[in-house]
A and B are shown apart, each in its own frame.
Chain A
């Protein structure tokens, strides 16, 4: 196990609703990255948080937002849910922000939008 925990494991929402996903990073890690993994696809980078600040963002609309807390845990919020938001959402924590900093992934939250 990686020590990265995500909650909830599964979630069902309807179109237009809002959702909050949570991630507890591995002990000592100050960086959290969020990814969206559609069925049969590789993960797509959403954004990264480093010491409570957004440190970069992928090609996702503003209705995808996040937070990182002083204990380095993190939330991903998605507003105005669309059917295409149905996916596995992965959180990864790392010691730093560089590409050599190994990212340890949680098991993900499976979001279904009906």
Chain B
């Protein structure tokens, strides 16, 4: 029940295309869902986060879509750029609990 399942494991998208990464969770008590971006040799950095009281959150080219009934959330990167090439992690936590449960990551490559 604590798992967060992330797919795909890797993704190749042409420059200008839309990158979509999906996550699914089991624990209905989760109420905070962040996405992190990690470049090689660096630690993860918070990209965007959502709470389940909204179905979508957009920040620039990055959008989180949230489906509470399906227990799924996804990251959409519009107009993908080579600089977006990185590993992306979804995560989840509940209440004020700081313990993030992380997905296994998606390696995204944007082809010029």
| B1-44 Cβ-contact flags toward A at 8 Å (1 or 0) | 00010100000000000000000000000001000000001111
Q: A33-B98, A99-B93, A99-B98 are in contact. Are A42 and B43 (CB under 8 A)?
A: no
Expressed in whole angstroms, the minimum distance between the Cβ of B36 and any Cβ of chain A is 8
Q: Which residue of A lies closest to B92 (CB)?
A: A99
Pick the residue among A4, A40, A45, A56 that contacts B43 (CB under 8 A): A4
Q: Which residue of A lies closest to B105 (CB)?
A: A42
| Count, chain A residues at interface, CB 8 A | 29
Pick the residue among B41, B44, B45, B96 that contacts A99 (CB under 8 A): B96
A44 on the B face (CB < 8 A) = yes
Pick the residue among A43, A98, A105 that contacts B45 (CB under 8 A): A105
Within 8 A of A (CB), among B62-112: 89, 91, 93-100, 102-105
Q: Is the CB of A105 within 8 A of B95?
A: no
Contacts of A99 in B (CB 8 A): 32, 93-98, 100
Q: Is the CB of B104 within 8 A of A41?
A: yes
Q: Is the CB of A101 within 8 A of B98?
A: yes
Expressed in whole angstroms, the minimum distance between the Cβ of A113 and any Cβ of chain B is 21
Pick the residue among B4, B43, B94, B103 that contacts A107 (CB under 8 A): B43
Contacts of B93 in A (CB 8 A): 99
Q: Which residue of A lies closest to B93 (CB)?
A: A99
Contacts of B54 in A (CB 8 A): none
Q: Is the CB of A40 within 8 A of B100?
A: no
Contacts of A58 in B (CB 8 A): 99
A112 on the B face (CB < 8 A) = no
Q: A99-B93, A99-B95, A100-B32 are in contact. Are A45 and B44 (CB under 8 A)?
A: no
List 18 A-B residue pairs with CB atoms under 8 Å apart, sorted by A's residue number: A33-B98, A40-B105, A41-B105, A42-B91, A42-B102, A42-B104, A44-B102, A56-B97, A58-B99, A98-B96, A98-B98, A99-B93, A99-B98, A105-B43, A105-B45, A106-B43, A107-B41, A107-B42
Task: Give B residues with C-beta under 8 Å from A.
Answer: 4, 6, 32, 41-46, 89, 91, 93-100, 102-105
